[in-house]
Structure 1
Amino acid sequence: MPLSNSPDVIVVGAGVVGAACAYYAARSGLSVTVVDRGPVAGGTTGAGEGNLLVSDKEPGPELDLALLSTRLWRDLAAGLPDGAEYEAKGGLVVARDAARMTALRAFARSQTAAGVTAQEVPADALHDLEPHLAPGLAGGFLYPQDAQVQPALAAAHLLRASGARVRTGQEVTAVLTGASGEVRGVRTRAGDLHAPYVVNAAGTWGGEVARLAGAHLPVLPRRGFVLVTEPLPRVVRHKVYAADYVADVASGSAALQTSAVVEGTPAGPVLIGASRERVGFDRTLSVEALRRLAAGATELFPVLAGVRALRTYAGFRPYLPDHLPAVGADPSVPGLLHACGHEGAGIGLAPATGLAVARVLTGDEPPLDLRPFDPGRFTGVTA
């Protein structure tokens, strides 16, 4: 039987998406318990760069989610301690040649029509924004709405601000259901927790949590590496990447893909990405991936050729076949909601996801059309 102090909702996952769900649910008047088998931000969130991007998204549902999140992140940063290192530094997307610049110009034009601010930067003005960029680029676009947070800090601050009870180191081994299949809570190795709602914010393991509830969500891991340099003066002012990155993000290929993504941080180290490949949960260091990352970064910023890379880390992006997250109520398990499958954009999309989940929980109008993110769209789709 449920205990008298049982929460209204249990969130499975203490990454930034789960933290945002807890935060907005609590602000809606619900009591929340967050459960994670590891520490706060111990999964994809802790291996992320903290990107809050609109620049890499074509017009459509994900961009709508990103634009809402951009506004929400600004509000959150004003209230979180140290703003969770929120930095509205903007993104700079560059084209290597005239053909890529033409394609980038058309892409930016379509984004502008959807509400994105994109400012064309001619080739001779690129160095005004990034003095250390390689010569000979064809031009680019500046995206002032792009920003960055420190993702682990953001998750921790959101959880603390939510007032939720956080149970780390407690793996969920079952989703408890009633006689009619409705959610009753979760079972962990430390005991049962009861609530009428469970939010699956388990990231890359979202498919497994869905299975425990008798639901289906074909989440797959997509591995990525990041190189971290020694601390430097601010040699990279924006998030800078080549236009090819947009196509790589949208690709469904399982093979290794790399595209140059370079950004400075307030603490000094430069972060270098991005790679992606589908190899399950294999954490084996890929020398080839790191070689490509270093080559791509130095091609954009030759000054980095003489800089030491101090470490690298790997993470797994929660990938769904159509590149859109699952956000909303499960069609087959009453009381089960999903908030996972954001791939590499979970940190940026977390606030809008959390707000949407809170609105579903309270029966209020969602902040945007959730039909494209309906978890039921994967019925019959295998992972």
Structure 2
Amino acid sequence: MAQGTPRTTASRWVADVAVVGAGIVGAAVARALAAGGARVVVVDRSEAAGGTSGSGEGNLLVSDKGPGAELAMAQRAVQLWPALAAELREELRTGLPGGFPDLELEPKGGLVVATTDGGASALRAFAATQRPAGVHAVELDAAGARALEPGLTPEVALAVHYPDDAQVQPVVATEALLASARRRGAVVLTGAQVTGPLLAEGGARLAGVRTSRGDVAAGAVVVAAGPWSGEVSSLLGAPLPVLPRRGVILVTTRQPHQVFRKVYDADYVGAVGSGDADLQTSTVVESTASGTILIGSSRERVGFDGALRVEVLRRLAAGALTLFPGLAGVPVMRSYGGFRPYVPDHLPVAGPDPRLPGLWHATGHEGAGIGLAPATGELVADLLLGREPALDAAAFSVARPSLAPHLAEPLAEPLAEHPGGSGGAAA
């Protein structure tokens, strides 16, 4: 691949790689590629972190993942995050008055709590499957759990402490990754809606994207558009079954520090792994560096319907009071929702699409994209740049057996050139 900044002539950019999506996954992919010498253009119909990355809690979790490929990616990300944060801090400490905002990377750990005997049995069994895979999971009784979280309910049947869980400020992290990519020559085009593909070899190969700000010609296109990846991949000619899964968060006013870790009930793991489209809630409570307390979590597949429903808010608040009775009377100053990129087999998709040469994916992380972003960026860059990946790339491939039943039929014939226009999907 050529070194340096993408070339531009008459509203046309020429790059090695076009990345569709300026959320944290797209930003991580762009930085990893630019650091490897690739010419990169990032396009997004909105602003950086304007979608899912701006609507999350910033969780970096191993606690909710059973043995397998996603846990391996999470463990790799846990290794990468501290060094990445330090590198970004050093790179970006000049250039802004007062320096770049802090990423607020906090290795606070997680605490999973069961309040029933049945929940305790399931939690103990789940932790037992994680330990052989290298996860630090420490069982605690009620007294041990309350020693870590004094405000916790005394009705604890069992708790498991996960010291490797952490938290980061997702919007700042996204902006920092993009700023670092720019310093390495990447171009970031916001307000650039993808309207169609650029095709080569008689329509048999993707050679870039058309956007509302001009064409981006590229040897590879990486779709990292979060829950909009299904629309973008369909527009480009190889549909991927990524659907939006809505979640809502309550935010309290600033409080004295009273929640010291990410604390969630034992039902959370089941909700994450469920494919049910109906509303599911489980309790998640954690503090932020600013002093607010975040309360989640909900999951439901309602398309891109962004309406807040009182039933969801009520269930979240009730769950928080079950774990932390002392939160009664604490004001909630706002609530907000967002959409997670859901894939039916609950695994991220990262790598080339065999149905359409030139098309790549980095999506489908559901609620784990913030945490998994550095490992995803590393994996995609390793594959694109011909390096040996640290992870098993086949596990995240479009061609994996668990995803095959959900894919549309492979392309039977070359695509026609898309005429472009304003009606296309966007990242």
The question of a shared fold, defined as TM-score above 0.5 by the shorter chain, is answered with yes
- Tell me what 1:171 maps to: 193
Distance 1:343 1:69 in 2: 16
Query: Could you tell me whether the CA contact under 8 Å between 1:3 and 1:194 is conserved in 2?
Result: no
Q: Which of 355, 373, 378 is residue 396 of structure 2 equivalent to?
A: 373
d(CA) in 2 for partners of 1:264 and 1:232? 9
The answer for the alignment partner of 1:6 in structure 2 is: 14
1:195 aligned onto 2:218: yes
Whether contact under 8 Å (2:246, 2:340) holds in the other structure is: yes
- Letter paired with 2:332: A
Name the SS for the 1:80 alignment partner. helix
The yes-or-no answer on 1:136 pairing with 2:136 is no
Quick check: 76-85 or 115-124, which moved more? 76-85
Name the structure 2 match of 1:114.
133
SS at match of 1:233: coil
Residue 55 of structure 1 aligns to a residue in which SS?
coil
1:50 counterpart letter in structure 2: G
TM-score (norm: length of structure 1): 0.97
Q: In structure 1, which of residues 237, 240, 250 is the aligned counterpart of residue 273 of structure 2?
A: 250
User: What letter is aligned with 1:20?
Assistant: A
- Deviation string 1:66-93 (CA, Å, 9 cap, x unpaired) is 0001111111122223551101000000
**SS, match of residue 85 in structure 1:** coil
Q: Give the aligned partner of residue 169 of structure 2.
A: 150
Give CA-to-partner distance per residue, 1:147-205, whole Å, 9 cap, x none.
00010110000010112211101101112110242121111112111111110001111
Range that drifts further, 266-275 or 109-118: 109-118
Q: Which residue of 1 aligns with 2:111?
A: 92
Q: Note the C-alpha offset of 1:110.
A: 1.2
The CA deviation string for residues 314-373 of structure 1, in whole angstroms up to 9 with x for no partner, is 100110100111110001111111001111111111111100000111111121112121
Aligned mates of 1:99, 1:123 — CA distance in 2: 16
**Counterpart Cα distance in 1 of 2:24 and 2:39:** 18
Structure 1 residues 255 and 61, CA gap change in structure 2 (3 angstroms): same
What stretches of structure 1 move > 6 A for 4+ residues in a row?
none
CA distance in 2, matches of 1:354, 1:249: 23
For 1:327, the equivalent position in structure 2 comes to 350
- What do the CA deviations read for 1:198-239 (whole angstroms, capped 9, x no partner)? 100011111111112211201111010000000011110000
CA contact (8 A) 1:76 1:83 kept: no
Instruction: Quote the residue 1:66 is aligned against.
Output: 74
**Contact 2:141–2:156 (Cα < 8 Å) also in 1:** no
Cα displacement (A) at 1:283: 0.6
2:391 is paired with a residue of what secondary structure?
Answer: coil
Retained in 1: the 8 A contact 2:198–2:210?
yes
Q: Deviations over 1:130-158 (max 9, x none)?
A: 01011121120110110000101100000
Aligned to 2:413: none
Alpha-carbon shift at residue 379 of structure 1 (Å): 4.5
Q: Which segment drifts farther, 91-100 or 261-270?
A: 91-100
| Residue 301 of structure 1 pairs with residue 324 of structure 2 | yes
Gapped regions of structure 1 (runs ≥ 5): none
Give, as a single letter, the amino acid of the residue that structure 2 aligns with 1:227: L
Give distance in 2, aligned partners of 1:200 and 1:183.
12
| Structure 1 stretch displaced more, 119-128 or 329-338 | 119-128
Does residue 266 of the first structure (1) align with residue 292 of the second (2)?
no
Q: Does the CA-based 8 Å contact 2:195-2:209 persist in structure 1?
A: yes
Equivalent position SS for 2:227: helix
Cα distance between partner residues in 1 of 2:358 and 2:387: 16
Q: Indicate which of 234, 253, 263 corresponds to 1:240.
A: 263
Shift of the alpha carbon at 1:273? 0.3
> What letter is aligned with 1:168?
T
Identity of aligned residues (%): 57
Alignment of 1:311-350 (within 5 A): 311-350=334-373
Contact 1:272 1:294 in 2 (8 A): yes
In the alignment, the residues of structure 1 paired with residue 161 and residue 38 of structure 2 have an alpha-carbon distance, to the nearest angstrom, of 40
- Counterpart in the other structure of 1:310: 333
Match of 1:281 in 2: 304
Does the 8 Å contact 1:213/1:333 carry over to 2? no
Query: Which residue of 387, 390, 413 maps to 1:364?
Result: 387
Give the equivalent residue in structure 1 for 2:417. Answer: none
Counterpart check, 1:218 vs 2:237: no
Instruction: Look up the equivalent residue of 2:31 and give its one-letter code.
Output: Y
